Structure formats: C-alpha cells, structure tokens
Structure 1
Amino acid sequence: MLFLAALLLLVAYLTGSAPLGQALLARAGVNVRTLNAHNLGVENVLRHLGPGLAAASAAVDFLKGFVAVLMASSLGEPEVTVLAALAAYLGHLYPPRPLFGAGVPRGRGNLVLLGALAGLAVTGAVPMWVTVLPLMVFAAVTGFWGYASVATLAGLLVFTLLVAALPTPVSMKLAALALLVTATWRFKEQLGRMMDGTEPRVGEDVPMAGKRSDEVVAAFMIHPMNLKDLWSAQRFAWLRPLVERGVVSEKAVRDFSNHVRPMKVGELRGIRTVDGKSVRCYLLSAPLLPDVFRDDPELATQRAIEGARLAQELGAEVFGLGAFWSVVGNKGVDVQEAVPDITITNGGAYTSGSVKAAIPGIVQHFAATGRDLKHATVGIVGANGVVAFGIARMVAPQVRKVIMIGRDMERLERTAATLRRAAKDTEIVSTTSYDTLKEADLIFSATSDPNPVIFPEHVKPGAWIFDEGRPADVHESVALVPGVRIIPGGVVLPPGGMTSNIDLQFGDGAVPACLAETLIIAATGEHERKSLGAQTLTENINFFVEQADKLGFRVVD
C-alpha cells in the first residue's frame, strides 16, 4: 500500500510538471517568455493572444490538477488524494530539470490548484463545501482588492483551516498546510511588489514586447549604495528597526542581501519621445552592496545574468546595467553571452556623450562668473578611465594646467604623454596624490570607487566640481567649503512627464545617462548601438548625443 501510494504521488507530480500549456502556445508560434509569467499569466494570454488560446492553456492546466487527484483517488485514501493535489501543484511550479531543463518560468498555477480542488470535491476526499468556500473567498478578495496572488493565499488559508477542523488524519491536515506554504513561497515576489507598489492588479494592462507599435518596454538594473537605500524598498523596511535595536546585525543583513535574487522594485512611466513613442521601464534590483562587486565579482555577474533573464521574462527588449552592474561580467559582455535574446548595455556610450554635451555649458557658466579659463587649473580625477580621459582631452586645450589623478602611475603617465602631444601649450601633470587638487579651480571626477575620494581638505574655496562618479566621488561634507559648487554629472531629463515609485536620487524626473541610453536604444530600435566591454566607439557616443536631442532627452548641466 505504501509503495503504491508513493507511486501515485510521483505520477501526480509528473502530471503537474508536464509543460502542456507552454507546449500548446509554442505550437501556436508564441514565445511564452513574453507573456509575463511573473505578472498575470492567463489574463495576459487572454489580453494579448485572444480567448481561444487563453481557454485552451487554462483548460490543460486545470486538467493537470484534476487528473492527478483523480488518479490518486483510486487508492481510496483521502489523505493520499490531498497529497496528490500538493504533488501536482509542486510539479507545476518546480518541474524536474532532468526532464524539462530550466525551461520557461511557470505561472502562478492557479488553474492547477482549481483543477486539484475540483478533483478533491468530485472524489469525495473532502466535502464539497470545503472546496467551494475557498473559491468564494478567492473571488471576493480578487474583486475587492484586485490582487490575484493575495486572493489565492486567502482561499488556501480558508481551505487549510477547514481541513484542520475536519476529523481527518494529521497527514491530510499537513498536506493542506503545505499547499498554503508552497503558494506563499511562490508568491513572495508578488507580495514584495505589492509592498513596493509595483504589482499589477487584475485588469491592469501589462505590456508585452513588440505588441504595440507606439510603446516599447525596457528594464534597468539598480542596487542599493548603502543600507539606507536597502530600507527604502518597502519589502525590506521591516529590517530597519531590527538592526537599529540590535536584534539583527548589519552583517546578517549583508549576508541576507547576497542571497536575494533579482526582483522588480520599481517602474518608470510617462516617458514619451518627441515622435510620440511611449517608453515604459522596469527597475530591477538584486540588493548587493558596493563592496560585494569588488569582493565577489562572480556572484555579481550571476545576479546580473539572472536580472537579464527576469527582464526578458517581463517583456523588455533592452536591459541596462546601472552603477556597479555596468562593470560586472567584463562590462556586460558575459551577461550578453549568457542571455543572447535580449539586448544588454552598460550605458557607457551615452554616459560619455552626456559628459561631452554638458562640458561646454559648464565651461561657459564657469567663464561667465568672471574667471579666466585660459589661466585656470583643472583637476581630472579617475584619469585612468575612459570617461575621465575624454573629459581631459576636451578641456586641456582651453586651460593653463591639467592635473591628472589616477591609481596606476605607469598607465597614467602614458595617458598624460598622449594629452601633452594634443595640447602642447597646456601644462599636464600626472599624479596619484589627491592633495594636488587643492590647486584646481575646476574639478572633473569620474571613478568607479564605491566610496567618496574627494574630501574638504582636497578642495579650495570657490572651486567647481563636476561629479560623474556613481556612487558620488565627492563626500557630502565638501559642500560646506565656502563657494564650492558641486554639479552632478551624467544626469538626464527624459521627455514627457516621467513618474516613478522609487527615488533614483538624481532629482525630480531625472535619470542617470546609462539608464537614458537604455531608453534611447528601446525607443530607436538601434540595438546594435549597445555598449559592451571596455571600448566605447566615438560613432556610438555621437549617435546617442544626436538621438537624445531628436527624441527630447536633455542633459542637466
């Protein structure tokens, strides 16, 4: 009897795991990765593909749960029948990889659950009212609140309580509880998005890549710069008082954040280009803190790849890597190789382009204050980098002296030699000492350091600082130095009335240039212009500067 019960449960699991709905849609020529399994499965199929395919895919999922329970009922043991419902649900959510591989992500499995509940009622494993009442609760919560995931959990909670109240074996009660626990774990991302305000309600349109000619979908990967940023996500806000009271250590939070997979934490809406194209952008995050990118680059690359896959599953056409994500995986090359069906960009071209666009205005404003630019000293921080050297090359012919600061003195001196040949009348100094910045009237900084590198002792009163670093290269205390002006670099205002549920910390309605590059690629369809690896082509820099102007993007200077 025990062997037969185990065999029937295995069959129920395999029945639930069969990708029948996906196979049906694939035969119809549908790329199921564009159906947003992370949002509203069957409803999206109905909205985007019509009632025929929606009804067919729903029916096969329903039958998986129903048939699995029906077969298990042949043993005549109600507890085995309820366990079969759990097995079928687990099979649908977590199919065996040896048989189906990583495959396409499964939906919530609500139709499998419905089929299983119908099977329990038909076979008499539980009284009819024990299955009908949870369905009524599901319908009521869905209608009142609009969140299908919460409605499912509410229905399963009622089912679990009803089974617990019946004179049934403990194994049957535990199986019902396991259904609730499994669904709760499955919906953890939906619950987190509800807390963050990004979970769509039933009836709310969820874009699908390529479905509308006037709307494109992009995604962008961000991360917290510190624990304070981590608390800003509502799903993690509960950790803050625990850390402040010493109940949970900061180390424990950091370790926890390293194990969290990418998730959707925000959304940018209202971006509309001059030519009338709407751009919706999902903000994704895996909450790695800056030091992790330095200490565990393999983990960071893995999370970036997972983020790219999530972006693809959400229907995005382009996936941008922001902040320290932009340097992982050989600056995005490895991420693109791992996920070839979505365009990946590290944003380097337009970041350089936005600096190129902003510098003339900054120099003009600087001169307008009555300062003689030809007699000014300019400091370039992070001069070993492509962006900072590009700045140095632009300003060197216009000033008296350029101080180039970097970490690799040998490489820095080679760069300085190149600059000396291009600007023969300008004094070029290369150094690793930040103390020399005290001479600078105008400072440009573009490093990838996770911590500030410019402090009050490095800056003279009245200096202007253009800070391109992300996170910021300039410590907040520098603002207290008399007359100092700090200008955030690489900040862009997209066209239209952009709204966001999350503070990107670039100012109202503004985004970083690397994110703007992601939006421009999506809006123009020029996917070959993506930025990958260390090299940034001049023609691509010019392309983004020109297209940004045409589409209505404006660099903040």
Structure 2
Amino acid sequence: MPPMLFLSVLLLAVAFLVGSAPVGHTLLARVGVDVRTNNPYNLGVENVLRRVGPGLAVTTALLDAAKGFVAVLMAASLQLPEVAALGALAAYLGHLNPPPRLYGPLPPRGRGNLVLLGVLAGLAVTGAVPLWAAALPVVVYAGISGYWGFVTLGTLGGLAAFAVAAALLPTPVPAKLAALGLLLAATWRFKENLGRILDGTEPRLGDAVPMAGKRADEVVTAFMIHPMTVENFWQTRRFSWMRPLVERGLISEASVRDLARSLRPMKVGELRGIRTVDGKSIRCYLLSSPLLPDVFRDDPELATRRAIEGARLAHELGAEVFGLGAFWSVVGNKGMDVQAAVPQITITNGGAYTSGTIKAAVPGILEHFAATGRDLKDATAAVVGANGVVAFGIARTIAPQVSRLIMVGRDLERLDRSATTLRRAVKDTEIVTTTSYDGLKDASLIFTATSDPNPVIFPQHVQPGAWIFDEGRPADVDDSVRSVPGVRIIPGGVVRPPGGMTSNIDLQFGEGAVPACLAETLIIAATGEHGRKSLGPQTLTENINFFVDEAHKLGFEVLD
C-alpha cells in the first residue's frame, strides 16, 4: 500500500474513533444523569438543556463540537481536501455508531448537530471548503428549524444544501461523495424521527416533552399494539403511501409482510386527554412493531424479541409502565421474559383488569338474557377457549347458573381437569368438554376468549337467537355470524377512560374507548401500584378486585 494511502486510511480510522468518543454521555453519567430517562427522543442539545440546565448543556455541546473539529483537523494534516472531507464523514459516522467493543452498549446518540457544526468549522478552517459552503447548511438549518419547528428536518435540509454546494464546487469526487454521505447517514439515522413527523407525533422545537416523575399531576405510559390485518398497516402515514402500490400490484403483500417482520418497535401515536377523577393526567405512547397475527404463532421468538425492544423504547421515552396489547400479551411467557429482560420499567399483560371487566360484565349479560324471558336454569351455555385463564374464569362464573355448560378448547386433557374442578363445585350443572365447535349449536349463550388470530365461530356453529360475548382480540366471531336471525354479539373488555381521550390511531374499539389491557396500564401508572402488574398465566383474585375498584374510583367505565 502506498505510504500516502496508508496514512489517509489511518487518519480516517482515527477520525472515526475520535467521533465515536462518548464525551457527552460520560460527562452526564458522572453527574448522575441517566440519559435514557432524561431524554425521550434523542440526546439532542435542546433536550439536555431542558433536562439538566444550561451549564451541562453548553459543556456537552462544546465537547461534541470539539471532537468533530479535531477529527477534521487531523484528517486535513495531509493537505488533501478529499481526505479532510472523508474525515468529516468518518467522525460523524463514529458519533452515530460508536463501536460496542470499545464502549459497551450505549444509549442512542442524538442527531449529532454539534458534531456536524464542528466538522463544518474544521472544513472551513482548513480550507477544504469555502467559508460560505460551510456556513450555508447552518443558515438552512436555522431557517427550517425556526419556521417548522422540526430539528430533524432542519438538519437534513442543511446537509442537503451542503451536498449541493459540494457538488457545484471544484472539489475532488471523494469530497463530493463525502458530503452526500453525510446526508445519507443522517437520513438513515433519522428515519424514525421522519416517521414520527409523518404520523404527527414528533415534538417540535420548544415543545414540553412529558417525563416520568417530572410532574406530580401527570404520568407517562406506553402500550404495544400491532396491526390485525394488512389493512391496519396503512393507518400510519409513514406506511400509507405503500397502499396504492400494493393495490396496483407494484408491491406484493408478501413484501409488506416481510417488511413488517424486519421493523423494530417505533412510536406511532399517542393517547392524550385522559384525566382521572382526582385530576391526574395520563399520557400514553402507542408503540408498534407491525407484526401480523400469524407471526406470533409461527415465530414466537421474533415476537418476544420485538416486545423486549418495545419495552426498552418505552423506557427511553420516559414511560413508567409498558402494556402488552393483543397478541403481545402472550409472548415471552405472557410478559415474564420481557420484564426479566427490561427490569427498569413495569410491564403488564393486562390480564387482571381484563378479567375484572368480564367479572363486571357477565352478571349484567346474564341478567339481560334472563329479562328476555328465557330461563337460565334451563339454558345451555358454552365457553370457547376454556383452556385459557380468562375463559375458565367465565366458565367458573356462569356454571352455577345454567343447566348445561360446554367447555371448548384445544387441549382436551387439560379441559377435563378443569371440568373436574368445576364439577366438584357445581354438582347440579352438566359440564361437557370438547375440542369441536359443532357443539356450540346447542348453546343459547356463548362466551368466547381465545388467542386465535382468525375467527373461530361461524354461522354453522350458532343457533338463531343466541347471545355471544366475544372477548377475543382479534374477534373470535366472524362477521358473517350477524346474518343468523336474532343473534346478538357483545364485544368484551372495552373501557372508556375518564376525560376526553384523543388519538391519532384508530384502536378499533370505538371512539374514546380502549381495551381493558390498555386501561390496566393506565391504572397502574395513575395509582402507582406497580406490584399489581399482570405477568404470566396466573391472575390473582385480589388484583382483579383491585383494578375493578380503582377503575371505578378513577372514572373508568366498562362498556357493554
């Protein structure tokens, strides 16, 4: 290797290492500041200023700018403009991607604007670019950030202007490519910020970002959701542009599914306006790794990994409690593995309050059913998904009130054990176990709570006039069942939080309503009773009663 080329490569490697030095992180850590919980979006200077004050903010800013400046000065020592420009790119890449082998796992870096300012100053001082070319991106950044309030757009706009200026200057091709590389690196780094801008959830410059423990009257939570169908995938604006391409056949649905599997958890929305009766405000971030229901069944390890990543993101966003919704609630031993991997935040699968809403709703359903003139003592009821904790709880509640109970599940041996327990407690009720849905035809009351990603109850399973309480998410009852004469379908586990809740995401539970598992997340944060979280297959009766009582006190309303 020629000596000059060897020196150039060596200087670029050194520039990368200088840029990667975690100077700001180290300083904040030494004064006891946890940047993960003190910065919900990135360790940007505006967030540091807001969280720790001007002294530390200015110091960390100068340190970041200095390492970019020094890296370029070192690279420019060979008097080659292209090496200086490539040194600027190396320093910026080092800042965004610090080597874990050198520093261990570090929290996510910010946008690196101060590093960029340092490298631009270095390029101007060394004469690698004219002063106006180095100043142009700063002016563009200030204009865009000041007008629209999005620092991410300001950074990308400034780097785009710099790339155009470099392309027009009589500089070597490697220098032009380095300027373009800065823009591409920043765009990739900010892809999540850009997605939040599209979805309307990215804070603007100067916005007050809520943080756990910062306000006595406000708590912050996060909740993990996922699309139930490909149609739900288009809800967020960051993905909606793909819909016409899929409809025209330019992108296959299989490609969309593959994309969904590859995406790490992201913030896609917020619930705002929730305020309890005692005046406490609750903000809930909606996170999603857009896995479709079949993935939870076919690749549980991937689902668990994504849930753990979601919990870490929730912690970085400043949430106190992280709820697992829909099929997320069953991954990782129903949240136990997720909690073990991320002990810094309280995690719940929502099972206790879900059971509580059923406990509150079932007596009313039975009462209304009897009010139609039908005798419960002569009725046959069925419980679908009776192998599960929630469904078995329903079976235990209704068994003493009907003449015959059909328990439907996948594991007949386990069903028989459960049925034996019920028979000992309820001697006058005939209890039948089966793995077939055909027996539902005999039931005038059906309660269903499965974790199946597809509907399991169809018209051939239902008698005319039957009442069906559907706790499944997604729904266990196919829409075609509505065509059966006299059938009434009652959705279960739906709660209206207190206050005027708004959301940019349709949770598909009706306006102003959320699933009970999400409500449990909110209640834990509002009460501070983190020990009441629901994890694993067991749900304590005392916790079920706690959530029912506290929900009523706080103003949560169970819908039926």
Question: TM-score normalized by structure 2?
Answer: 0.98
Paired with 1:50 and 1:464, the residues of 2 have a C-alpha distance of 60
Number of positions where the alignment pairs a residue of Structure 1 with one of Structure 2: 557
Residues 80-101 of structure 1 deviation map (CA, whole Å, 9 limit, x = unaligned): 1111111111111100010112
Find 2:103's aligned residue among 96, 100, 110: 100
Aligned to 2:385: 382
Find 2:476's aligned residue among 469, 473, 476: 473
Residues 418-456 of structure 1 deviation map (CA, whole Å, 9 limit, x = unaligned): 111211111211112211111211111000001000011
Aligned to 2:170: 167
Paired with 1:330 and 1:185, the residues of 2 have a C-alpha distance of 34
Please tell me whether the aligned partners of residues 43 and 109 of structure 2 are also in contact (alpha carbons under 8 angstroms). Answer: no
Please tell me whether the aligned partners of residues 217 and 279 of structure 2 are also in contact (alpha carbons under 8 angstroms). Answer: yes
Aligned to 2:495: 492
Q: What 5-or-longer segments of structure 2 have no aligned partner?
A: none
Aligned to 2:61: 58
* Residue aligned with 1:266, SS: strand
Stretch deviating more after TM superposition (340-349 or 50-59): 50-59
Please tell me whether the aligned partners of residues 382 and 407 of structure 2 are also in contact (alpha carbons under 8 angstroms). Answer: yes
Paired with 1:223 and 1:323, the residues of 2 have a C-alpha distance of 8
Aligned to 1:454: 457
Aligned to 2:318: 315
Find 2:250's aligned residue among 247, 259, 264: 247
The answer on 1:370 being equivalent to 2:334 is: no
Paired with 2:48 and 2:311, the residues of 1 have a C-alpha distance of 22
* Residue aligned with 1:111, SS: helix
Matches for 1:33-432 after TM superposition, within 5 Å: 33-36=36-39, 38-39=41-42, 41-432=44-435
Shift of 1:39: 4.9
* Residue aligned with 2:502, SS: strand
Shift of 1:372: 2.1
The answer on 1:527 being equivalent to 2:530 is: yes
Identity of aligned residues (%): 75
For 1:260, the aligned partner's letter is L
Paired with 1:197 and 1:367, the residues of 2 have a C-alpha distance of 48
Matches for 1:531-546 after TM superposition, within 5 Å: 531-546=534-549
Paired with 1:490 and 1:39, the residues of 2 have a C-alpha distance of 36
Paired with 1:111 and 1:273, the residues of 2 have a C-alpha distance of 42
Paired with 1:24 and 1:212, the residues of 2 have a C-alpha distance of 26
Please tell me whether the aligned partners of residues 353 and 544 of structure 1 are also in contact (alpha carbons under 8 angstroms). Answer: yes
Shift of 1:370: 2.6
Paired with 1:29 and 1:146, the residues of 2 have a C-alpha distance of 30
Shift of 1:405: 0.8
Moved over 4 A (4+): none
Please tell me whether the aligned partners of residues 42 and 109 of structure 2 are also in contact (alpha carbons under 8 angstroms). Answer: no
Please tell me whether the aligned partners of residues 35 and 43 of structure 2 are also in contact (alpha carbons under 8 angstroms). Answer: no
Residues 367-420 of structure 1 deviation map (CA, whole Å, 9 limit, x = unaligned): 222322222221100011110110011111112221111111111111111111
Shift of 1:317: 1.0
Paired with 2:41 and 2:82, the residues of 1 have a C-alpha distance of 32
Paired with 2:413 and 2:46, the residues of 1 have a C-alpha distance of 60
* Residue aligned with 2:548, SS: helix
For 1:439, the aligned partner's letter is D
**Root-mean-square deviation over aligned CA pairs:** 1.2
Stretch deviating more after TM superposition (361-370 or 220-229): 361-370
For 1:546, the aligned partner's letter is D
Shift of 1:40: 6.9
Please tell me whether the aligned partners of residues 43 and 108 of structure 2 are also in contact (alpha carbons under 8 angstroms). Answer: no
Paired with 2:245 and 2:313, the residues of 1 have a C-alpha distance of 30
For 1:69, the aligned partner's letter is V
* Residue aligned with 1:353, SS: helix
Please tell me whether the aligned partners of residues 40 and 318 of structure 2 are also in contact (alpha carbons under 8 angstroms). Answer: no
* Residue aligned with 2:457, SS: coil
Residues 181-225 of structure 1 deviation map (CA, whole Å, 9 limit, x = unaligned): 000001100111111111111111111221111111111111111
Please tell me whether the aligned partners of residues 37 and 105 of structure 1 are also in contact (alpha carbons under 8 angstroms). Answer: no
Paired with 2:164 and 2:418, the residues of 1 have a C-alpha distance of 72
* Residue aligned with 1:429, SS: strand
Q: What 5-or-longer segments of structure 1 have no aligned partner?
A: none
